[in-house]
Structure 1
Amino acid sequence: MGIDADLERIALQESELQFDSFSLETGWALGSLLRGMAVERKLGVVIDVTLFSMPVFYAALEGSTPDNPSWVRRKRNCVFRFLKSSYAVGLSLTKQESTIQAKFGLPDAEYAPHGGSFPIVVKGTGCIGAVTVSGLPQRDDHIMVVEAIATLLDKDIKALKFDT
Protein backbone atom coordinates (compact mmCIF):
# COMPACT_ATOMS: atom_id res chain seq x y z
CA MET A 1 0.00 0.00 0.00
CA GLY A 2 2.95 2.33 -0.60
CA ILE A 3 2.77 5.61 -2.45
CA ASP A 4 4.59 4.27 -5.51
CA ALA A 5 2.27 1.26 -5.76
CA ASP A 6 -0.81 3.46 -5.45
CA LEU A 7 0.51 5.94 -8.05
CA GLU A 8 1.19 3.06 -10.43
CA ARG A 9 -2.33 1.69 -9.93
CA ILE A 10 -3.89 5.15 -10.37
CA ALA A 11 -2.02 5.53 -13.67
CA LEU A 12 -3.55 2.20 -14.77
CA GLN A 13 -7.01 3.32 -13.62
CA GLU A 14 -6.71 6.61 -15.52
CA SER A 15 -5.54 4.76 -18.62
CA GLU A 16 -8.30 2.13 -18.52
CA LEU A 17 -11.25 4.21 -17.32
CA GLN A 18 -11.83 6.30 -20.42
CA PHE A 19 -15.08 6.74 -22.26
CA ASP A 20 -15.71 6.28 -25.99
CA SER A 21 -18.20 9.14 -25.68
CA PHE A 22 -19.76 11.08 -22.82
CA SER A 23 -23.14 12.78 -22.88
CA LEU A 24 -25.30 14.44 -20.27
CA GLU A 25 -27.14 11.11 -20.00
CA THR A 26 -23.83 9.37 -19.29
CA GLY A 27 -23.06 11.92 -16.58
CA TRP A 28 -26.48 11.43 -15.03
CA ALA A 29 -26.06 7.64 -15.15
CA LEU A 30 -22.65 7.90 -13.46
CA GLY A 31 -23.95 10.21 -10.74
CA SER A 32 -27.02 8.04 -10.21
CA LEU A 33 -24.88 4.92 -9.95
CA LEU A 34 -22.70 6.59 -7.31
CA ARG A 35 -25.76 7.78 -5.43
CA GLY A 36 -27.22 4.27 -5.47
CA MET A 37 -23.96 2.83 -4.15
CA ALA A 38 -23.85 5.41 -1.37
CA VAL A 39 -27.48 4.87 -0.35
CA GLU A 40 -27.04 1.08 -0.32
CA ARG A 41 -23.88 1.41 1.81
CA LYS A 42 -25.41 4.13 4.01
CA LEU A 43 -22.59 6.58 3.23
CA GLY A 44 -22.90 10.28 4.02
CA VAL A 45 -21.26 11.70 0.92
CA VAL A 46 -21.62 14.45 -1.64
CA ILE A 47 -21.46 13.36 -5.29
CA ASP A 48 -20.70 15.69 -8.18
CA VAL A 49 -20.31 15.21 -11.93
CA THR A 50 -19.16 18.37 -13.68
CA LEU A 51 -17.98 18.97 -17.22
CA PHE A 52 -15.71 21.89 -18.02
CA SER A 53 -18.78 23.54 -19.54
CA MET A 54 -21.44 22.85 -16.88
CA PRO A 55 -22.62 20.83 -13.89
CA VAL A 56 -24.34 17.55 -14.75
CA PHE A 57 -25.19 15.81 -11.45
CA TYR A 58 -25.09 16.74 -7.77
CA ALA A 59 -26.35 14.95 -4.67
CA ALA A 60 -25.76 15.44 -0.97
CA LEU A 61 -26.77 12.42 1.10
CA GLU A 62 -27.82 12.21 4.70
CA GLY A 63 -24.72 12.30 6.86
CA SER A 64 -22.73 14.61 4.59
CA THR A 65 -21.59 17.89 6.09
CA PRO A 66 -21.59 21.55 5.04
CA ASP A 67 -17.82 21.17 4.38
CA ASN A 68 -18.24 18.46 1.74
CA PRO A 69 -19.32 20.78 -1.11
CA SER A 70 -16.16 22.84 -0.59
CA TRP A 71 -14.05 19.69 -0.63
CA VAL A 72 -15.77 18.63 -3.87
CA ARG A 73 -15.02 21.99 -5.51
CA ARG A 74 -11.39 22.01 -4.35
CA LYS A 75 -10.73 18.38 -5.39
CA ARG A 76 -12.41 19.02 -8.76
CA ASN A 77 -10.18 22.08 -9.23
CA CYS A 78 -7.16 19.75 -8.94
CA VAL A 79 -8.48 17.54 -11.73
CA PHE A 80 -9.28 20.57 -13.89
CA ARG A 81 -5.79 22.01 -13.30
CA PHE A 82 -3.68 18.84 -13.60
CA LEU A 83 -5.97 16.60 -15.74
CA LYS A 84 -5.41 13.67 -13.39
CA SER A 85 -7.05 12.36 -10.27
CA SER A 86 -6.86 14.51 -7.17
CA TYR A 87 -5.50 11.49 -5.27
CA ALA A 88 -2.60 11.15 -7.73
CA VAL A 89 -1.82 14.85 -7.30
CA GLY A 90 -1.82 14.49 -3.51
CA LEU A 91 0.27 11.32 -3.47
CA SER A 92 2.81 12.87 -5.84
CA LEU A 93 3.12 15.91 -3.58
CA THR A 94 3.49 13.68 -0.51
CA LYS A 95 6.22 11.71 -2.28
CA GLN A 96 8.01 14.98 -3.06
CA GLU A 97 7.48 16.18 0.52
CA SER A 98 5.78 19.28 -0.81
CA THR A 99 2.40 20.98 -0.87
CA ILE A 100 0.27 22.38 -3.63
CA GLN A 101 1.00 25.88 -2.31
CA ALA A 102 4.77 25.38 -2.13
CA LYS A 103 5.18 23.57 -5.46
CA PHE A 104 2.62 25.36 -7.65
CA GLY A 105 1.63 28.48 -5.71
CA LEU A 106 -1.96 27.27 -5.62
CA PRO A 107 -3.98 28.20 -2.51
CA ASP A 108 -5.39 25.48 -0.25
CA ALA A 109 -8.67 27.39 -0.21
CA GLU A 110 -9.10 26.60 -3.93
CA TYR A 111 -7.26 23.28 -4.44
CA ALA A 112 -7.43 20.08 -2.38
CA PRO A 113 -4.99 17.39 -3.53
CA HIS A 114 -6.91 14.67 -1.71
CA GLY A 115 -8.57 11.55 -3.07
CA GLY A 116 -12.05 11.63 -4.50
CA SER A 117 -12.04 13.45 -7.83
CA PHE A 118 -11.32 11.56 -11.05
CA PRO A 119 -10.98 12.89 -14.60
CA ILE A 120 -13.71 12.18 -17.13
CA VAL A 121 -11.68 11.35 -20.21
CA VAL A 122 -13.06 10.73 -23.68
CA LYS A 123 -10.75 8.70 -25.91
CA GLY A 124 -9.30 10.87 -28.66
CA THR A 125 -10.50 14.05 -26.96
CA GLY A 126 -8.98 14.15 -23.46
CA CYS A 127 -10.28 15.32 -20.12
CA ILE A 128 -13.72 16.95 -20.36
CA GLY A 129 -14.67 17.07 -16.69
CA ALA A 130 -14.50 15.35 -13.33
CA VAL A 131 -16.53 13.07 -11.10
CA THR A 132 -16.06 13.70 -7.40
CA VAL A 133 -17.06 12.12 -4.09
CA SER A 134 -16.44 13.68 -0.68
CA GLY A 135 -17.29 12.41 2.78
CA LEU A 136 -15.16 9.30 3.28
CA PRO A 137 -11.45 8.96 3.96
CA GLN A 138 -9.70 10.17 0.81
CA ARG A 139 -8.58 6.76 -0.44
CA ASP A 140 -12.14 5.45 -0.01
CA ASP A 141 -13.57 8.44 -1.91
CA HIS A 142 -11.20 7.61 -4.77
CA ILE A 143 -12.01 3.89 -4.66
CA MET A 144 -15.74 4.58 -4.81
CA VAL A 145 -15.39 6.74 -7.92
CA VAL A 146 -13.16 4.19 -9.64
CA GLU A 147 -15.61 1.40 -8.83
CA ALA A 148 -18.52 3.36 -10.32
CA ILE A 149 -16.70 4.28 -13.53
CA ALA A 150 -15.45 0.70 -13.94
CA THR A 151 -18.99 -0.59 -13.45
CA LEU A 152 -20.42 1.88 -15.97
CA LEU A 153 -17.71 0.99 -18.52
CA ASP A 154 -18.03 -2.76 -17.80
CA LYS A 155 -14.37 -3.01 -16.78
CA ASP A 156 -12.93 -5.62 -14.42
CA ILE A 157 -12.75 -3.77 -11.11
CA LYS A 158 -10.53 -6.48 -9.60
CA ALA A 159 -7.75 -5.61 -12.05
CA LEU A 160 -8.01 -1.93 -11.15
CA LYS A 161 -8.21 -2.18 -7.34
CA PHE A 162 -5.41 -1.08 -5.06
CA ASP A 163 -3.29 -3.72 -3.41
CA THR A 164 -4.28 -3.75 0.25
Structure 2
Amino acid sequence: MTVEEVITVLAMQEEILQFNHFTNEDAWTLGTLLVAEAKRRQLDNTAVEIRLNNGYTVFKYAGNGTTLNNEKWLDRMFRTVQVLEKSSLRVYSELKKDEDTLEDIGLNREEYSFLGGGFPIRVEEVGVIGAIMISNQNHFVNHDIIVKALSRYLHIDEVPRIRAL
Protein backbone atom coordinates (compact mmCIF):
# COMPACT_ATOMS: atom_id res chain seq x y z
CA MET A 1 0.00 0.00 0.00
CA THR A 2 1.15 3.53 -0.67
CA VAL A 3 1.17 6.09 2.12
CA GLU A 4 -1.78 7.82 0.44
CA GLU A 5 -3.75 4.55 0.42
CA VAL A 6 -2.90 3.97 4.08
CA ILE A 7 -4.17 7.45 4.98
CA THR A 8 -7.41 6.79 3.08
CA VAL A 9 -7.93 3.47 4.91
CA LEU A 10 -7.19 5.06 8.29
CA ALA A 11 -9.68 7.88 7.66
CA MET A 12 -12.29 5.30 6.62
CA GLN A 13 -11.68 3.29 9.79
CA GLU A 14 -12.18 6.38 11.93
CA GLU A 15 -15.40 7.22 10.07
CA ILE A 16 -16.81 3.69 10.31
CA LEU A 17 -15.80 2.87 13.91
CA GLN A 18 -18.02 5.37 15.73
CA PHE A 19 -20.19 4.87 18.78
CA ASN A 20 -23.79 6.00 19.24
CA HIS A 21 -22.98 6.38 22.96
CA PHE A 22 -20.00 5.66 25.20
CA THR A 23 -20.20 4.81 28.91
CA ASN A 24 -17.81 3.46 31.52
CA GLU A 25 -19.45 0.06 30.97
CA ASP A 26 -18.62 0.35 27.25
CA ALA A 27 -15.03 1.15 28.22
CA TRP A 28 -14.81 -1.96 30.42
CA THR A 29 -16.24 -4.28 27.78
CA LEU A 30 -14.14 -2.79 24.97
CA GLY A 31 -11.03 -2.78 27.17
CA THR A 32 -11.39 -6.47 27.95
CA LEU A 33 -11.80 -7.16 24.20
CA LEU A 34 -8.59 -5.23 23.51
CA VAL A 35 -6.69 -7.25 26.11
CA ALA A 36 -8.18 -10.51 24.81
CA GLU A 37 -7.13 -9.65 21.23
CA ALA A 38 -3.57 -8.89 22.37
CA LYS A 39 -3.42 -12.17 24.31
CA ARG A 40 -4.89 -14.07 21.35
CA ARG A 41 -1.87 -12.83 19.40
CA GLN A 42 0.37 -13.93 22.31
CA LEU A 43 1.29 -10.32 23.06
CA ASP A 44 1.02 -10.51 26.84
CA ASN A 45 3.38 -7.56 27.39
CA THR A 46 0.85 -5.04 26.09
CA ALA A 47 -0.38 -1.91 27.88
CA VAL A 48 -3.97 -0.79 27.15
CA GLU A 49 -5.72 2.38 28.25
CA ILE A 50 -9.03 4.09 27.50
CA ARG A 51 -9.16 7.71 28.60
CA LEU A 52 -11.77 10.42 28.23
CA ASN A 53 -10.84 13.89 26.96
CA ASN A 54 -11.16 15.33 30.47
CA GLY A 55 -8.22 13.09 31.43
CA TYR A 56 -10.26 10.49 33.32
CA THR A 57 -9.00 6.92 32.74
CA VAL A 58 -11.96 4.53 32.42
CA PHE A 59 -9.94 1.39 31.61
CA LYS A 60 -6.33 0.39 32.13
CA TYR A 61 -4.34 -2.81 31.75
CA ALA A 62 -0.60 -3.35 32.08
CA GLY A 63 0.55 -6.79 30.98
CA ASN A 64 3.65 -8.50 32.32
CA GLY A 65 6.73 -6.87 30.86
CA THR A 66 5.27 -3.38 30.59
CA THR A 67 7.09 -0.51 32.28
CA LEU A 68 6.79 3.15 33.16
CA ASN A 69 8.03 3.86 29.64
CA ASN A 70 4.78 2.37 28.27
CA GLU A 71 2.85 4.74 30.52
CA LYS A 72 4.70 7.67 28.98
CA TRP A 73 3.89 6.45 25.45
CA LEU A 74 0.22 6.05 26.39
CA ASP A 75 0.24 9.67 27.58
CA ARG A 76 1.85 10.87 24.34
CA MET A 77 -0.64 8.95 22.20
CA PHE A 78 -3.55 10.30 24.25
CA ARG A 79 -2.46 13.90 23.77
CA THR A 80 -1.98 13.35 20.03
CA VAL A 81 -5.48 11.91 19.56
CA GLN A 82 -7.02 14.51 21.89
CA VAL A 83 -5.51 17.49 20.05
CA LEU A 84 -5.69 16.27 16.44
CA GLU A 85 -8.85 14.11 16.76
CA LYS A 86 -7.45 11.34 14.58
CA SER A 87 -5.53 8.13 15.11
CA SER A 88 -1.86 8.47 15.93
CA LEU A 89 -1.07 6.11 13.01
CA ARG A 90 -2.88 8.51 10.69
CA VAL A 91 -0.82 11.38 12.12
CA TYR A 92 2.34 9.32 11.52
CA SER A 93 1.27 8.55 7.94
CA GLU A 94 0.36 12.15 7.13
CA LEU A 95 3.67 13.39 8.51
CA LYS A 96 5.53 10.74 6.51
CA LYS A 97 3.66 11.69 3.31
CA ASP A 98 4.39 15.40 3.75
CA GLU A 99 7.93 14.76 5.04
CA ASP A 100 7.06 16.73 8.17
CA THR A 101 7.83 16.23 11.86
CA LEU A 102 5.66 16.78 14.91
CA GLU A 103 7.52 20.04 15.45
CA ASP A 104 6.50 21.16 11.93
CA ILE A 105 2.86 21.01 13.02
CA GLY A 106 3.53 22.69 16.37
CA LEU A 107 3.76 19.63 18.62
CA ASN A 108 6.60 18.69 20.96
CA ARG A 109 7.79 15.09 20.53
CA GLU A 110 8.32 14.77 24.30
CA GLU A 111 4.58 15.29 24.84
CA TYR A 112 3.07 13.88 21.62
CA SER A 113 3.49 10.68 19.61
CA PHE A 114 3.63 10.19 15.87
CA LEU A 115 3.45 6.39 16.09
CA GLY A 116 0.41 4.13 15.84
CA GLY A 117 -1.44 2.95 18.91
CA GLY A 118 -3.87 5.78 19.66
CA PHE A 119 -7.41 5.82 18.25
CA PRO A 120 -10.21 8.36 18.77
CA ILE A 121 -13.44 7.45 20.55
CA ARG A 122 -15.90 9.26 18.32
CA VAL A 123 -19.57 9.44 19.28
CA GLU A 124 -22.03 10.12 16.46
CA GLU A 125 -23.36 13.70 16.48
CA VAL A 126 -21.02 14.55 19.39
CA GLY A 127 -17.43 14.14 18.18
CA VAL A 128 -14.25 12.83 19.76
CA ILE A 129 -14.75 12.27 23.51
CA GLY A 130 -11.62 10.28 24.31
CA ALA A 131 -9.01 7.85 23.07
CA ILE A 132 -8.01 4.20 23.09
CA MET A 133 -4.28 3.59 23.41
CA ILE A 134 -2.10 0.49 23.15
CA SER A 135 1.64 0.38 23.76
CA ASN A 136 4.57 -2.03 23.56
CA GLN A 137 4.09 -3.61 20.13
CA ASN A 138 4.92 -2.51 16.58
CA HIS A 139 2.79 0.56 15.97
CA PHE A 140 0.89 -1.08 13.08
CA VAL A 141 0.12 -4.03 15.37
CA ASN A 142 -1.03 -1.67 18.15
CA HIS A 143 -3.40 0.02 15.69
CA ASP A 144 -4.68 -3.26 14.26
CA ILE A 145 -5.51 -4.65 17.70
CA ILE A 146 -7.66 -1.57 18.31
CA VAL A 147 -9.42 -1.82 14.93
CA LYS A 148 -10.10 -5.54 15.41
CA ALA A 149 -11.53 -5.08 18.92
CA LEU A 150 -13.59 -2.03 17.92
CA SER A 151 -15.01 -3.90 14.92
CA ARG A 152 -16.02 -6.78 17.16
CA TYR A 153 -17.48 -4.53 19.86
CA LEU A 154 -19.48 -2.39 17.41
CA HIS A 155 -20.56 -5.47 15.37
CA ILE A 156 -19.13 -4.02 12.16
CA ASP A 157 -17.70 -6.68 9.85
CA GLU A 158 -16.71 -4.55 6.86
CA VAL A 159 -13.83 -2.43 8.12
CA PRO A 160 -10.85 -1.95 5.79
CA ARG A 161 -7.59 -3.07 7.35
CA ILE A 162 -3.93 -2.29 6.77
CA ARG A 163 -2.01 -5.49 6.22
CA ALA A 164 1.45 -4.13 5.48
CA LEU A 165 3.18 -0.97 4.32
TM-score past 0.5 threshold = yes
TM-score between both structures, scaled by the size of structure 2: 0.93
Q: Structure 1 unaligned segments of length 5 or more: list them.
A: none
Distance 2:2 2:82 in 1: 26
Choose which of 60, 63, 68 in structure 1 pairs with 2:62: 60
**2:2 paired residue number:** 2
Equivalent position of 1:16 in the other structure: 16
Write out per-residue CA displacement over residues 57-113 of structure 1, whole angstroms, 9 at most, x where no aligned residue: 011101223311111110111100100001101110111111011x22211110001
State the Cα distance separating 1:16 from its structure 2 match. Answer: 0.3
The AA in structure 1 aligned to 2:79 is N
Find the counterpart in structure 2 of residue 132 from structure 1: 133
Separation in structure 2 between the aligned mates of residue 63 and residue 145 of structure 1, nearest angstrom = 20
1:160 partner SS: coil
Deviations 1:38-73 (A, max 9, x none): 233321110000011211001110122331111111
Pairwise CA RMSD of aligned residues? 1.2
Q: Secondary structure at 2:59's aligned position in 1?
A: strand
Task: Give the unaligned 5+ runs of structure 2.
Answer: none
TM-score, scaled relative to structure 1: 0.94
Deviations 1:9-45, CA, capped at 9 Å, x for gaps: 0011001000011001001111111112223332111
Paired with 1:16 and 1:133, the residues of 2 have a C-alpha distance of 20
Alignment partner of 1:28 is 2:33: no
Q: Which residue of 1 is the match for residue 37 of structure 2?
A: 37
